[in-house]
Amino acid sequence: MLIQVVKSKIHRVKVTGADLNYIGSITIDETLMEASNIYEGEKVSIVNLNNGERLETYAIKGPRNSGEITLNGPAARKVHKGDIIIIIAYGTLTCEEAKTFKPSIVFPNEEDNSLT
């Protein structure tokens, strides 16, 4: 049997922008993507702690060490600059693999989204 488990998580980051006129996706600081093991183009779930919205989109790289977290396209209607969100990516594993798998979870500084 295969199950979906949390593979990657960026816990509590501040949204720095919302761009309705962009094609779609979420722009994530490249440093945060690397630290959390999220790949460009990977499907991610977004949970908005300010309003309870949940949505899915895909990740694109933002400038390294910029702290950028921007929701693009229709997702921009679900967040506001300054909202705190959680970004989650899932992986598919066998039940045996899931028993020992360790997800990549990062806890950035909520003020500037840095990993200090």
DSSP one-letter string for the chain: -EEEEEEEEEEEEE--EEETTSSSEEEEEHHHHHHHTPPTT-EEEEEETTT--EEEEEEEEE-TTS--EEEEGGGGGG--TT-EEEEEEEEEEEHHHHHH---EEE---TTT----
94 lies in some domain: yes
Active site residues: 25, 58
52 lies in some domain: yes
112 lies in some domain: no
| Prediction pTM value | 0.96
Annotated binding site for substrate: 57, 73-75
Annotated binding site: 57, 73-75
Please report, for the domain that includes residue 28, its CATH number: 2.40.40.20
Residues spanned by the domain of 50: 2-104
Q: Which residues of the chain carry a pLDDT beneath 50?
A: none
39-54 pLDDT, tens per residue? Answer: 999 999 999 999 999 9
